[in-house]
Amino acid sequence: MESLLQSIEDWFRGILLSGITSNMSNVFDSVNVQVGQIANQVEKTPFTFSPTIFSMIQNLSENVIMPIAGLILTFIACYELIQLVISHNNLANFETWIFFKWIFKTFLAVTLITNTMNITMAVFDVAQYVVKAAGGIITESTYVDPEGFENFQYFLEMQTTGELFSIFLQTFIIQFLIYILSALIYVIVMARMIEIYLMISLAPIPFSTFGNKEQSIIGQNYLKSLFALGFQGFLIMVCVAIYAVLIQNVAFTANIVGSLWKVIMITILLCFTLFKTGTVAKSILHAH
């Protein structure tokens, strides 16, 4: 009878050990896949991410928003001419050069607004170069190898059946939480790209304000916001690199449960820092 019970216990322990190992393998596989996806997504420009979406946004910008921007530019050009004229004592001290100044400023404003998409894409081309250069350095150290935790199996075999069952439940919960966090990370990265598309769709309007010194603040802030979105990708890569290093430094000791929950806490920390990258990038570039 005792041998039968021992056989059943050994069989149950084998199932628990296999389940725990499978759960942990899924956790680290999910980490590796998610890190790879982040690195792959953030280095894409709006065009390379989805040519179809980019084409739609470009058509909307040029056919719907551009006429509105043209009206704004016309109003600003007229306003600027009036300001130039009345600034000289209401024509009491009239000088003809002010018209050449107005023509030159208007020409620059028209040139900017007609090349809105080219300028916008140039911003993300610069950002892509920076992110790719960083990615070549960072991704070499972000792979988490589950085979590196050789002590994990050793400490598991030292546990009682009840402790193994508890660890199995916790690894199952951790695996589930990792999947949720992975989905959240995916949403954060995709939300950044959608925000970029939204910014691009309205680009002609802020570009139409460069013809006037006071109103050009709108355009300047828009450009700073574009650069912030571009370089947010670089900050995301830095967060991923820090995350991978922290995960690799988790030591699986006799306190297996504590080690497992360190993994989940570090992943939560990654989500939090990814949420903050947009704010940090805008604060550095002083974009509102």
pTM for this model (two decimals): 0.79
* pLDDT-based confidence at residue 50 (cuts at 50, 70, 90): confident
Q: What is the model's pLDDT at position 111?
A: 87
**E-strand stretches of 149-275:** none
Higher pLDDT, 51 or 288: 51
Residue 100 counted as domain residue: no
Residue 125's CB: how many other CB atoms inside 10 A?
12
Instruction: Classify residue 51: in a domain, yes or no.
Output: yes
How confident is the model at residue 56, as a pLDDT?
Answer: 92
pLDDT in tens, 229-285: 988 888 888 887 787 777 777 666 656 667 777 777 887 888 888 888 888 988 888
Domain containing 264 equals 19-65+116-284
120 closest CA partner among 47, 216, 38, 211: 47
Give all strands (DSSP E) within the chain, no chain letters. none
Q: Residue 150 — very low, low, confident or very high, per pLDDT cuts 50/70/90?
A: low
pLDDT over 80 (residue 49): yes
Instruction: Using the structure block, give the residue that is written with the tokens 């680009």.
Output: 203
Average pLDDT over residues 132-148: 60
Q: Which amino acid, one-letter code, is at 97?
A: W
Tallying the residues shown for the chain, one arrives at: 288
Q: How many domains does the chain have?
A: 1
User: Mean pLDDT, to the nearest integer, of 42-63?
Assistant: 88
Asked whether residue 33 is assigned to any structural domain, the reply reads yes
Question: Does residue 85 sit within a domain?
Answer: no
Residue 245 lies in a domain: yes
Would 5 be classed as within a structural domain? no
Angle between helices 51-60 and 161-201 (to 10 degrees): 40
Tell me what the mean pLDDT of segment 19-26 comes to. Answer: 74
Q: Is residue 86 part of a domain?
A: no
- Over residues 65-77, the mean pLDDT reads 89
Structure confidence at residue 196 (pLDDT) = 92
Nearest to 189 by CA among 25, 38, 35: 38
With 0-12 / 13-18 / 19 or more C-beta atoms within 10 angstroms meaning exposed / middle / buried, residue 184 is middle
Q: What is the pLDDT averaged over residues 105-114?
A: 85
For residue 222, tell me if it sits in a domain: yes
**What pLDDT sits at residue 142?**
52
- C-alpha to C-alpha distance for 141 and 192, rounded to whole angstroms: 24
How many Å apart are CA 252 and CA 249, to the nearest integer? 9
Average pLDDT, integer, range 153-176:
75
Higher pLDDT, 220 or 153: 220
Residue 197 pLDDT exceeds 90: yes
The pLDDT, as a whole number, for residue 240 is: 79
Mean residue pLDDT of the chain comes to 79
